[in-house]
Amino acid sequence: MVYHRIRALIICLTVLTVGACGLPRGAAIQSEIVSGQNAESAPFEVVPVTRTNIGDLQTWPVTGWAGDYNWFSNNRGPISPIIRTGDRIDLIIWDSQENSLLSTLGQKSVKLNDIMVGADGMIFIPYIDRVFVRGETPESARAVIAKELEAVVPSAQVQLLLTPGPDNSVDAVSGFRSPGTYPLVHGDVSILSLIAQAGGISPELSNPLIRVLRDGRSYEILSDTLYEKPAANVIVRGGDQIVAEEDRRYFVALGATGIQKIMPFDRENVNAIEALAMLGGLSAGRANPKGVLILREYGRNEVRTDNTGPRKRQIVFAIDLTSADGLFAANNFKINPKDVLVATESPINSIRTVFGLIGSIVGIGNAVSN
């Protein structure tokens, strides 16, 4: 009887040990993922991330996005509003002459209200016909009109009031508490001032990105960066359209981490250590700290035959977090959008499972014998 029990246990131990890698697990083992890496026909390459090569890896092509945000390079803007088509102008012309062509008897001024700047950039003024004012500031337009009036009203003085039209306004399109069209009553309205007028960014947005559409181009910046850098607070211009939206960049987390999900970026750049922290770290008792893998795919034109870039389109970056070298390298390794971060499972877990099953079998055998 004892012989049969020992024989059964030996058979079970052999079967379970051989089939340990096939037992149900929450994550793959590193050797399974990188198996076949040395074959000449392997479609991928495994690249260890160390302090020795991290400098070279940082020069490899960026994947998933342009690599940085396209924001305005300077903060220059008009210090006064610029007259545009659709704006409306109110004029007060003062004339001290007794026989004035513009004012009536007993009056010293005449008001010309609600003059719209036409599509040709001109306005009509009696006795001097049409005057081109588009592109001028209110002060320079006033001087132009006064000069044109000299021929008929030598002593005339001009006052000008500008009411911005649709082309001299900014659209806060979406992502704000109070979206709408906001006239530029001053020429030095900053983007933060405009956001404040629109009620601020909607609190429903996570890691919001500010996008400005101007002259057929798109400029974007993370809101946190905009708040932190005074030089980024640029002057808005008439016709700008401003959108607040969530940053669309993400990476995918799989394996033995605290959570497994599609993880949005919460800042402009995220390194491997920060990415793991965002995921709640490695799963205690399950993860293999020597086997943190980052899967990335490069474009065909980004493959290199030398060491200046990836030699294959599919790269598996391997990080060992059990050494200072690996930790420092991981802290300088940037995660790219659409990367797949895999925390592999420790092979010891399979052995533990085998012994657990053996213990269960032994317990069952003892129970049967009893």
From 221, 246, 271, the end of a domain falls on 246
| pLDDT number for residue 103 | 61
Domain housing 7: 1-24+347-370
Nearest C-alpha neighbor of 20 from the set 350, 253, 279? 350
| In the block, residue with structure tokens 């057929």 | 216
Structural domain contains residue 363? yes
Higher pLDDT, 218 or 42: 218
Q: Poorest-confidence range of 95-104, 111-120, 137-146?
A: 95-104
pLDDT at position 21 over 60: no
Q: Are residues 268 and 304 in the same domain?
A: yes
Q: Any residues with CB less than 8 A from the CB of 367 and at least 6 apart, and which?
A: none
pLDDT, mean of residues 24-36: 73
> Considering the entire predicted model, what is its pTM?
0.68
Q: Are residues 268 and 185 in the same domain?
A: no
Higher pLDDT, 109 or 297: 297
pLDDT confidence band for 353 (50 / 70 / 90): very low
Long-range CB contacts (within 8 A, 24+) of 196-201: 197/172, 198/172, 198/242, 200/176, 201/175, 201/176, 201/177, 201/244
| pLDDT number for residue 157 | 87
pLDDT at position 290 over 60: yes
pLDDT, mean of residues 325-339: 96
pLDDT, mean of residues 152-159: 84
Report the CATH number that the domain containing residue 273 is assigned in CATH: 3.10.560.10
Which strands sit side by side in the sheet containing 157-163, from one edge to the other? Answer: 109-116, 88-94, 157-163
Structural domain contains residue 76? no
| pLDDT number for residue 118 | 92
Beta strands in the chain (DSSP E): 44-48, 88-94, 109-116, 122-125, 129-132, 157-163, 169-174, 180-183, 208-214, 217-222, 241-246, 250-255, 262-264, 287-297, 314-319, 340-345
| pLDDT number for residue 5 | 55
Q: Are residues 362 and 308 in the same domain?
A: no
Total count of domains within the chain: 4
Structural domain contains residue 73? no
Q: Are residues 359 and 341 in the same domain?
A: no
**Distances, alpha carbon 116 to alpha carbons 95, 97, 148, 163, in Å:** 23, 28, 18, 9
pLDDT at position 244 over 90: yes
Structural domain contains residue 14? yes
Report the CATH number that the domain containing residue 147 is assigned in CATH: 3.30.1950.10
Higher pLDDT, 142 or 366: 142
**CA 131, CA 83: separation in Å to the nearest integer?**
13
pLDDT, mean of residues 352-362: 47
Higher pLDDT, 28 or 291: 291
Structural domain contains residue 242? yes
Q: Any residues with CB less than 8 A from the CB of 269 and at least 6 apart, and which?
A: 334
pLDDT confidence band for 354 (50 / 70 / 90): very low
Q: Any residues with CB less than 8 A from the CB of 57 and at least 6 apart, and which?
A: 47, 49, 317, 333
Q: Are residues 336 and 260 in the same domain?
A: yes
Secondary structure in 3-state letters for 151-180:
CCCCCCEEEEEEECCHHHEEEEEECECCCE
pLDDT at position 365 over 50: no
Mind listing the pLDDT tens digit for each residue in 123-133?
998 888 899 99
Mind listing the pLDDT tens digit for each residue in 57-88?
999 999 999 888 999 886 665 566 788 888 99
Q: Are residues 268 and 302 in the same domain?
A: yes
pLDDT over 70, % of the chain: 82
Structural domain contains residue 58? yes
**CA 247, CA 266: separation in Å to the nearest integer?**
8
**CA 267, CA 315: separation in Å to the nearest integer?**
24
Higher pLDDT, 348 or 178: 178
Sign of the dihedral defined by the CA atoms of residues 34, 40, 41, 46, in that order: positive
Q: Are residues 283 and 342 in the same domain?
A: yes
**DSSP states of 306-340 as a string?**
STTS-SSSEEEEEE-TTSHHHHHHHHT-BPPTT-E
pLDDT, mean of residues 89-112: 76
Q: Any residues with CB less than 8 A from the CB of 87 and at least 6 apart, and which?
A: 116, 117, 162, 163, 164, 165, 167, 168
pLDDT, mean of residues 165-170: 86
Helix (H, G, I), strand (E, B) or coil at 357: helix
Nearest C-alpha neighbor of 282 from the set 315, 327, 249, 325? 327
Structural domain contains residue 74? no
| pLDDT number for residue 37 | 76
| pLDDT number for residue 238 | 86
pLDDT at position 232 over 70: yes
| pLDDT number for residue 351 | 47
| pLDDT number for residue 361 | 47
Q: Are residues 317 and 338 in the same domain?
A: yes
pLDDT confidence band for 349 (50 / 70 / 90): low
pLDDT at position 2 over 60: no
Measured in whole angstroms, how far is the alpha carbon of residue 226 from the centre of its chain?
12
From 196, 221, 246, the end of a domain falls on 246
Helix (H, G, I), strand (E, B) or coil at 101: coil
Structural domain contains residue 316? yes
**Distances, alpha carbon 258 to alpha carbons 89, 199, 208, 254, in Å:** 63, 37, 25, 10
Q: Are residues 129 and 54 in the same domain?
A: no
Q: Are residues 272 and 339 in the same domain?
A: yes
Q: Are residues 37 and 122 in the same domain?
A: no
pLDDT at position 148 over 50: yes
DSSP 81: P
From 163, 193, 208, the end of a domain falls on 163
| In the block, residue with structure tokens 């030398």 | 306
pLDDT at position 304 over 70: yes
Which strands sit side by side in the sheet containing 169-174, from one edge to the other? Answer: 180-183, 169-174, 241-246, 208-214, 217-222
Q: Are residues 123 and 41 in the same domain?
A: no
Report residue 70 as tokens.
Answer: 């396209």
Helix (H, G, I), strand (E, B) or coil at 196: helix
Looking at every residue in the chain, the average pLDDT score rounds to 84
